[in-house]
A = this chain, B = another copy of it.
Amino acid sequence: MRPETRARVLKAIEELDYTPAKSARALRRQRTQVIAVLLPDISNPFFSLLARGVESVAFDQGFSTMICDSNHSSEKESRHLDILRAEGVEGIVLVAVGQPDMRKVERLLRRNVQVVSVDRVVEGLPTIGADNKGGSNALTKHVLSLGYERIAYITGPQEVSTARERLAGFLNALELAGRRPVTAQCGHFTYESGYGVAAKLLKEFEVEAIMAANDLMALGAINAAEEAGLRVPEDLGVAGFDHVSWAAFVRPNLTSVEVPAYRMGQVAATQVLSAELRETRLKTKLIHGGTCTACHQFR
């Protein structure tokens, strides 16, 4: 092309304020260059970090990301799956609310839309998860090594795979040490449920430490303990799981296991975008060893 022509074209672009229209391009090429991340609650710091991880990878590869919030509702999740199909996204990173609507998911897969589950195991989908069992196991061993003997556990809903895995890791470590938990009771991964379960538990049992399946419940347990007149960590040790950012500001500090949400998002996005994938069906993949961090919560 003659430099002069080139200059004229550039000038026209400038004057007409031209930008190629993505929707036309998408129609013609049958590729939108958009992926989505569909999660239960973007205002939960764990999920929003995960979303950032997805976005960072997509952005680098020239993809846009739609972040969709199912608001903890399976129905809204299902509607979002429809919308995303119509929207023509090329892949979906899914943090499912319970078991997702597999009919919808399969329709997407048939259209060659990559769907990868993160954090929670979904039957029939490749899953990117942390090593919940291993992390819980390591944390429990750490707690035992500090000399705690009478330990209670607050677990999450048993339909959620992460809750089951963390409980399993805990029980396994105890068993290896030839011990049994004082009690294991079920919460809902919320602050309130942690508070409620701990308050009840502290009345009925004599415990030296409480381990919870996530930080929010652990925080509830701390507050319940202090209201029961117990000093933490002098009278009662408390541990959580997730190592969410604000936990670092909580006083007294919370012992926890780091779950690398950002990296999990990155890995999931990479899987979704990787072309190889279009051939091979993936297996579940573990990220990180579930490192046990900060330990100020224990005497």
Residues of A that sit less than 8 Å from B by CB:
17, 19-24, 26-27, 32, 41-45, 48-49, 51-52, 55, 64-69, 82-83, 85-88, 107, 110-111, 191, 219, 222-223, 226, 245-246, 249-251
What is the CA–CA distance of A249 and B110 in the complex, to the nearest angstrom? 46
Prevailing SS type, chain A contact patch: helix
Q: Given A43-B45, A251-B250, is A52 in contact with B69 using a C-beta cutoff of 8 Å?
A: yes
**A21 interface neighbour in B19, B27, B55, B223, Cβ under 8 Å:** B27
What is the CA–CA distance of A39 and B180 in the complex, to the nearest angstrom? 48
- Residues from chain B with Cβ under 8 Å of A219 in the complex: 249
Q: Determine if A23 and B27 form an interchain contact, defined as CB atoms under 8 angstroms apart.
A: yes
Q: Determine if A21 and B226 form an interchain contact, defined as CB atoms under 8 angstroms apart.
A: no
What is the CA–CA distance of A88 and B22 in the complex, to the nearest angstrom? 7
- Residues from chain B with Cβ under 8 Å of A67 in the complex: 42, 51, 65-67
Give 13 A-B contacts (CB < 8 Å), ordered by A residue: A17-B111, A19-B82, A27-B27, A41-B52, A43-B52, A45-B45, A45-B246, A51-B67, A66-B67, A191-B249, A226-B251, A246-B249, A250-B250
Nearest residue (CB) in B for A262 is: B43
What is the CA–CA distance of A19 and B86 in the complex, to the nearest angstrom? 6
Closest Cβ–Cβ distance, residue A252 to chain B (whole Å): 8
Closest Cβ–Cβ distance, residue A220 to chain B (whole Å): 8
Q: Determine if A87 and B64 form an interchain contact, defined as CB atoms under 8 angstroms apart.
A: yes
- Residues from chain B with Cβ under 8 Å of A85 in the complex: 19
Q: Determine if B86 and A21 form an interchain contact, defined as CB atoms under 8 angstroms apart.
A: yes
Q: Given A65-B66, A110-B17, is A42 in contact with B52 using a C-beta cutoff of 8 Å?
A: yes
Give the 6 A-B residue pairs with the shortest CB-CB distance, closest first: A246-B246, A67-B67, A23-B26, A43-B48, A48-B48, A23-B23
- Residues from chain B with Cβ under 8 Å of A246 in the complex: 45, 246, 249
What is the CA–CA distance of A48 and B23 in the complex, to the nearest angstrom? 28
- Residues from chain B with Cβ under 8 Å of A88 in the complex: 21-23
**A23 interface neighbour in B32, B110, B249, B250, Cβ under 8 Å:** B32
